[in-house]
Each structure stands twice: as C-alpha cells, then as structure tokens.
Chain A
Amino acid sequence: MSGHESEPRRPDLTIVSEETPPPSEANDALVIGSAIIAALAGVGFAVALALGTSLAVYGSALAIGLLALGFGVRRYFSDLFPDIEAVEPRHPEPDASEEAVSAIEPLERRSLLRNALIGAGGILGLGIVGSTVPSLGPAPGDTLTRTAWRRGTRLVTTDGEPIRADNVASGGVATVWPEGAIDNEISAVILVRVGDVGFAPPTNLDWVVNGELVAYSKVCTHAGCPVGLFREQDNALFCPCHQSTFDAVRGAIPTFGPTARALPQLPLGTNAEGFLIALGDFKELVGPAYG
C-alpha cells in the first residue's frame, strides 16, 4: 500500500489527521482469540447440523462464529493500519464544457422523418403490450356478480355433508357451501341459528327457516375477509380482520367498523327431504365493492 512509498508518501490522498496504533500484544491476543472462537464455532455448527441437533444449538454456533469473526476483523484492521482522516474536493474537475456529447453532428433533414419513427415505435410497443396484457387473465364477465348458488342447491358443510335445520345448535353457526362448489371462495355462507329473539327488518323473513335460521354471505363487504365470528349474546357477526360488525337479526346491517354495506342474505329454504337449500343466488353484490 501507499504507506511503503517514499516522499510524497500519498500524493493523491490529502490527510488531515493520522494516528498510528502502538504495537500491542493484547490486540494480537484478541485477534487470535476471536479467530479460534470463530473456527471452533464453524466446526461446532457443521457437527451440530450434521448430527441433527436443534436449531438453538447450531444457530447459536453460527451466530457466535460470525460475531467473533467480525470482532476479530475489526481488531485486526485497527492494529494494522493507521487511523486516517482525509479530505478530497467535492468537485475535482472543472465543469463539463458546453460542447455536445457526440462529436458527430447530424445533417439537416426534415423532423417529420424522426417523428414518424418515434410514433411508429410507440404504436408498435402499445400494440404489443396492449395485446399481451389481456391474455394474463380472463375477462371478469359475471364471475364477480354471480356465485355458485342456484335455486335448489343444497347447503353442505366443508366436508360435503348436506345439512338439516336442526343440525345447527341453537345460538350456533356453521360455515356452508353450495353443493359441488366447496371452497368456491365467493360462495361461502355463514348459517346462523339465533335464539327465539325474532328478526327485524331489513331481514327478508321469507328466507328465514323455522323462524330462527338465517344465512348470509361470509365474504365481508369491506375487504373480503371471511366473517367468521358470531357473538351469541347480541347476535353479532364480527369480521376478525378489520372488525366490521353486522347484526344477524337485522339483515346483517353493519353496526360498527369500516364496512358500509350489509352482508347479502342468501334465499334459504328446505327441500322435501328436509335439507337446507338455496332458493336462488344472492340478490345483492357479494363481497367488496369493485370498480
């Protein structure tokens, strides 16, 4: 390095302060000590990992090895070189000349030619992008406005079992799906059997079974989280994500939180065998609003 040269010692480094570390055996001991610890930790890491010990063991070995090595590197460098503060000018070179970047000047031609090429390039690029991007996904069509519920579709549990009105305990809830479309996210429904409190508007009473079973979309009208929490004592449906709260005996209108819309009520009925069925699709938009 520059330190071994004769005068001028460092022609291209303007030093403002320089301190030389005294030779120190204590420092040598620190460097050697950390090197030994780091090496042992490296061996320990390899062995502990190979033996399949716990992460706490080999992870600690890795941490100790890295920290010890870092400590050793700092001690090594601080003893090997003088501590130097130097300055350099912020703007060493004179400002760039006013000349053009290229030495070759263009000849006089109509600017139309250049503009035509730029325009054509833009159109070509837009064409390529504009035709490629739409093939990334299908057109939404009616997928956002229609769910898998149809007239007569049976309600089934996550296991695919059709359910009857008395399968849900009083004051109980169940997550149900349209038969044949389990895990179709937008069709998730929460079935609530409230106690004998009676429903109030805007609940559609035609879609209440036995005067106590009601079904709402489980997709929150705020951000689309599943509204999975039911508070039995005040018949509230509560979204654990953003705390939108809905009144299950008043048409699931929002009573708190960031959502502005009620959960759509599923037209609910029973078929001849006593299984719960849908009487049709939801009549309102399911889930969050979209453009």
Chain B
Amino acid sequence: MRTLSPPMWRTLLGWLVVVASGIGVALWWAPGDVSAQVQPGDQIGDVALGSQLYAQACAQCHASDGSGATVPGTDRMAPPLSGQADVTAAYVDLVMRTGRMPPAANPFDNQPRVVVYDEAQRLAIVAYLVNEFGITNNLSEVTQLPEGNAGSGQNVYATNCAACHGSTGSGGVAGGGAWTPTVTNYEPATIAEAIRVGPFQMPAFGTDQITDQEVADVGAFLEEVSSESGTPLGLIELNPVFASGFVALLALATILSLFWISSKPTWFPDPEADGDDDRSVPPSASVTPIDPSDQS
C-alpha cells in the first residue's frame, strides 16, 4: 500500500558516504529523499538516553537496527522504522504521545493505552531515531502552530474529522475491526501530528488541504470541548445511545415514585390512643361476588 522504500543498507551506505566525506554540512545535502531534511537529532533530545530506552522498549520488535521483526507471541511483523518515507519524527512522536507505543501487551489489539514516556524520554527516543536511522525530522515543522480559533476549528473539524472521530471528538467505529480514538484531551501539537502523518488507518492531510492555521483551529476547538464544564455528572454532550440509558433511569425513578404515590399513606400513631389502634369504620356495602346466574 505505501510506497516501498529503499532497503536499509542503502540508507546505511548513504550515512557511510556522509561520514566518510567528513563534511558536516553534507548532512544537509546528502543524496536520497529520505535524508534530505535530516537535522541532527541532538537538537530534539538526549540521544544517549534515547539509545538506552530504544534498546529496552523498542528493539525487541522493531530490531536494534530498526528493520522490524516478528513480534514475540504473534506471527505478525512490527513495521520497520528505518528507511520508511512515511515514518517521520512526527509519526514516532505521535505513537508515544498517545501511548500507542510501547504497548503493555499485544500491540495489535487496537485498544486504548496508557502513556508510558514523559516528554524528555519521548523526545530522547525521537532524537535517537533521527540520528541513528535517519528518519525525517519534521517535528518542529508539524507541531509549531499559530494561535488557534475554536470557532473556525469547529467548522474544519466538522468537514474533515467528525465522520470518523464523532462530532465532539469522542471517537467512534471505523469498521473492519478498527475504531477511531477519542481526540479530546490531547494537546494541539498531538492533533497536528496525527493530521499530518495519518497514522494507521487514518488518511493523512497535507497543508494544501488543512493549513497550519486550520490545524491550530481544530486543536483549539478540541481544547474548548474538553474544557466545557458539563453537568455535575461531568457530562457534556450526550450521544442518543447514552441518552437512552438516562431515559431508562428517569423512567425507573418515575416508577419508584409511582409505587410511593399509590401506596397507602403512612400514619403516625395516635399518642392518645388506648392501644386499640383500629381506625377502620365498618363498611357500608358488601362486595361479595355476584352470582352470575342471577344476572339476566
């Protein structure tokens, strides 16, 4: 599906050439589209820490050279990280920001995750990948955004995002065993990375389609949604399915009230009563069944 990239050895060879030439600036002019925009990773984060973390948490599946390997316990391959045109710094940053990587257990279960790394650790790994595998460093290009406007963001969101992530970002279903994640509670930078790289099943959107300003607006809209105060139960906008659950609760509360209202009223005992507390008055009519044979 994606463009097949040159094999890893070519990238390594490119690096060898670069290093051997001994020209620092050659980094900026190195041949091949993959390394064209590469900046030194140490501008991003602590490469040494990144190297250590990569060896601990990533290398088992993605291989220490980033070429990908079979995930233990499954028969599926972890995607290669090096030499892939679409594996960029923004992409790897995104999967760690959202907790998609590293996974606690089965990486293919398509379930929500907890975020493992803090910002310094995450950026260290990104820096290591940029340095070591030469993945494109588009981090600042993607995440540096102008001030967003929630109003126009709602418009952009409704046109481009709502069909998959729901009108208020609560996520939804994509079919084929895929679900779309909840997108509130993310920083605008995370939203921007997702829009630009189009992770997994998600289509990517370039700047021709959604400008940086519009990306910032979407981020502002989603921040606005997550900052809505909501009801004392913490609810903001209710999908009709959840609303139906509350209708059931309301009906239940109503029925309980009906039991109470139709029940015999509780009377307090008469303090002056002499023990014989029978307040009933003899009936004035008999209601025994009428013999049907008496009826005409």
Contacts and interface: CB of A to CB of B under 8 A. Distances in A.
B117 interface: no
Interface in A159-209: 163, 166-175, 195-197
Contacts of B198: 169, 171-172, 232
B204 interface: yes
Interface in B155-186: 159-160, 162-164, 172-176, 178
B205 A18 contact: no
Nearest to A9: B284
B270 A22 contact: yes
A243 B175 contact: yes
Contacts of B245: none
B3 A196 contact: yes
Contact of B200 (A24, A174, A196, A233): A233
Given A74-B261, A158-B159, A19 B203 contact: no
B280 interface: yes
B21 to A, nearest CB: 32
Contacts, number: 134
How many chain B residues sit at the interface, stated as a range, is: 35 or more
A195 B3 contact: yes
B209 A167 contact: yes
A23 B279 CA distance: 12
Nearest to B278: A19
A283 interface: no
Given A18-B281, A24-B268, A78-B265, A169 B3 contact: no
Interface string A3-18: 0000000100011111
B268 A22 contact: yes
Contacts of B261: 74
A264 interface: no
A187 to B, nearest CB: 16
Contacts of A142: none
B273 A22 contact: yes
B22 interface: no
A121 B115 CA distance: 77
B13 interface: no
A171 B1 contact: yes
Of B2, B205, B277, B284, the most chain A CB neighbours within 10 A belong to B284
Interface in A93-142: none
Given A167-B206, A196-B3, A226-B163, A22 B200 contact: no
A11 to B, nearest CB: 10
A277 B259 CA distance: 68
Interface of A: 10, 14-24, 26-27, 54-56, 74-75, 78-79, 82-83, 87, 157-158, 163, 166-175, 195-197, 226, 228-236, 238, 240, 243, 245, 256
Interface of B: 1-3, 159-160, 162-164, 172-176, 178, 198, 200-206, 208-209, 229, 231-232, 261, 264-270, 273, 277, 279-281, 283-285, 287
Given A19-B280, A175-B159, A245-B175, 11 more contacts: A19-B279, A82-B281, A166-B208, A167-B206, A172-B198, A175-B160, A196-B3, A231-B174, A232-B1, A234-B176, A236-B175
